[in-house]
Amino acid sequence: MKTFDVCVIGAGPGGYVAAIKAAQLGKKVVVVEREKIGGVCLNCGCIPSKAMITAAHMFEKMSSLSEIGLSASNINVDMTKIQNWKESVVNKLTTGVSGLFKMNGIESIMGEANFVSAQELELNCSNGEKEIIKASNYIIANGSRPIEIPGFNFDGKNVLSSTEALTLNPTPKRLVVIGGGYIGLEIGSYLSKFGCEVTVLEANSSLLSGVVDTDCVNVVARKLKKKGVNVMLGAKAKGYKKVGNDLQVELQTEKGIQTVLCDKILVTVGRKPNSDQMNLSKIGIKVDQKGFVVVNKQLRTNISHIFAIGDVAGQPMLAHKASREGIIAAEVIAGKNAIADYKFVPAVIFTDPEIASVGLTVEEATQKGFEVATGQFPYAANGRALSVMDAEGFVKIVADKKTNVVLGVHIVGYEASNLISEAALAIEMGATLQDIASTIHPHPTLPEMMMEAAEAAMGHPIHIFLRPKTDRAARPTTRNAH
C-alpha cells in the first residue's frame, strides 16, 4: 500500500492543476489517470478542436486574399497533415504537463480507480497490476462524457461523439449535427469551411438556447446561413438507417416527419458527469438529481476529506472553472482559507464569429431587479477590426443604471475570446462604466470597443452616433472611487 497526502483522480485541467498546486504547497501527491494525461480538454476537446478551427479559419482567409490585392494559387487541404499538426500541438501540451509532474515531485499512475472505502482506493493499473492507495485527502476530478440519445448510440463509424469528429480524415461530404449547442456548432462550422455540407438539427426554437445573449447568437446564425450551413430549428432526431451508401436521418418537425441524407452523424446534445463511476455511491458520496457531486464552497463533498472539482462537481462544465476549483481544493487541503467566491465564470464559444460572455444578460439582470443600462459598439466602427478583415459583431455592456456598476459583457466577433478577460476582471472588481471608459486603451486595437461600449452605455460614444435614450446610465462628472 502506498500512502500520500493528496490523491487526485483524473489528470484533466482540473486534476493536473490541483496536483501541481498541492505539490507546490508541500504535499506528497499522486495522480491517477485512466486514459491520457491532460484529460478530455487537452487530448480530444478544447485544444484539438481549437487547432482544427484555426486551420479552417486560415484556409478560409487564404481563399479570400484577392480582396486585398494578394493572389495565391493551389490552395489545397491536406487533412492528414492538418491532423498531424493538431496532434503535435496536443503532444506538446500533454508532454509539458507530464514534465511538470516530474519537476514537482508528483507521482502519476495510469489505471482505473475505485474506492474500496472512504480512506482507500483500489487501482487496476494499465500494466495489469493492482495497487491500493491510501491518502489523507482525495480530489475527484474524473470529468464528464458525451450524452447518448435513443436511436443514436455512438459507434465511432456512423454515429460520432466530438472525440471521433475531431479525427475525421477525410472530411465527410455531408454531416448531420444533432444539437445546436457550442460543441456541435464549433465542429460543424470548421468542417463546413473544409467543404462539408452541414445540417444542424436543434430541438429548441433557437441555437445555443439559454446559453448566451440572443443578439450574439443572431450574428452567428446569420453567418452560418451565409456560409451554407443548413440549420433546422424545432427538429427532433428520431433515428437513422442505412440506405445504400448513405445514412438517412429521420426527424420530427412541426411540418411532420422529414429525412436528411448524410455520410456521418455527430451527436452533441451535452455531457454528463462521471459520478456513476469509482464506487462513489458505495462510499456514500452525495450526488444531486442531475448527477453532479454535491460540494460546498471549499469543494468538499459530504465526506470532508474528499473533494470534487470540475465537470463532475457541477455547472458550468468549463476547463478554466475546473482549473480554478483545483487550486481552491489544493489550498484548502494545505490549510489556507480558500473558497470559491468568484462572481461569474467567463465562457467562450469558438464559432464563426466567436462569442464570449461574462456576467448577466439584460434579461437576467432585469429578472434580478436591476434597472438596466446597455451600451453596444460594433466591430464595423473599429479600425483594427476593419484592417484584419473581420468586422462582424459587437461588444455589449450591461450595467446597473443607478450605480453604473458593470453587470455583464457579451461579445460576438473576431478575437472575442481574447477580449473577454478585461470584462471578467472589471466585473470581479466591481468596476463601473466610467472606470472602463476612463481607462486609456491603445489604438488601433480591438479592446478599444470595450471602452466605446462603456461610453455608449452612458450615452456619449465617440465613434458612433446615438440619439438620446432614457435607458442610458447617468454619466458621472468625476471618476468613481472604490
Give the pairing of strands 120-125 and 130-140.
Answer: antiparallel
- Give yes or no for a contact between 99 and 57, defined as CB atoms under 8 angstroms apart: no
What residue has cell string 487530448?
A: 43
How far, rounded to the nearest angstrom, does the alpha carbon of residue 201 sit from its chain's CA centroid?
A: 21
Residue 469's identity, in one-letter code, is: K
C-alpha cell read off for 139: 480530489
List Cβ<8 Å contacts ≥24 apart for 290-295.
293/140
The question of whether 482 is a catalytic residue gets the answer no
Q: What whole-number distance in Å separates Cα of residue 199 and Cα of residue 201?
A: 7
Question: Are residues 310 and 326 in contact, defined by beta-carbon separation less than 8 angstroms?
Answer: yes
Question: Do residues 462 and 452 touch, judged by C-beta distance below 8 A?
Answer: yes
Other CB atoms closer than 10 Å to residue 40's CB: what's the count?
Answer: 23
Cell numbers 445573449: residue: 213
263 residue type, one letter: D
Cβ neighbours for 285, distance < 8 A, ≥ 6 positions apart: 140, 275, 293, 301, 302, 303, 306, 308
How far, in Å, CA of 285 to CA of 295, rounded? 10
Beta-carbon contacts of 69 under 8 Å, excluding residues fewer than 6 positions away, are none
Let me know: does 391 contact 67? Beta carbons within 8 Å.
Answer: no
Nearest to 275 by CA among 261, 254, 289, 255: 289
> Which of these is catalytic: 57, 443, 460, 482?
443
| Sheet strands side by side (includes 159-160) | 159-160, 264-267, 174-178, 197-202, 230-233
CA distance 93 to 315: 25
- Using CA atoms, how far apart are residues 405 and 116, in angstroms rounded to an integer? 51
Please enumerate in sequence order all residues whose Cβ is within 8 A of that of 78, keeping only pairs 6 or more positions apart, or say none. Answer: none
Q: Which three cell numbers stand for residue 296?
A: 460546498
The alpha carbon of residue 288 and the mean position of all alpha carbons in its chain are separated, in whole angstroms, by 23
Catalytic amino acids? 443
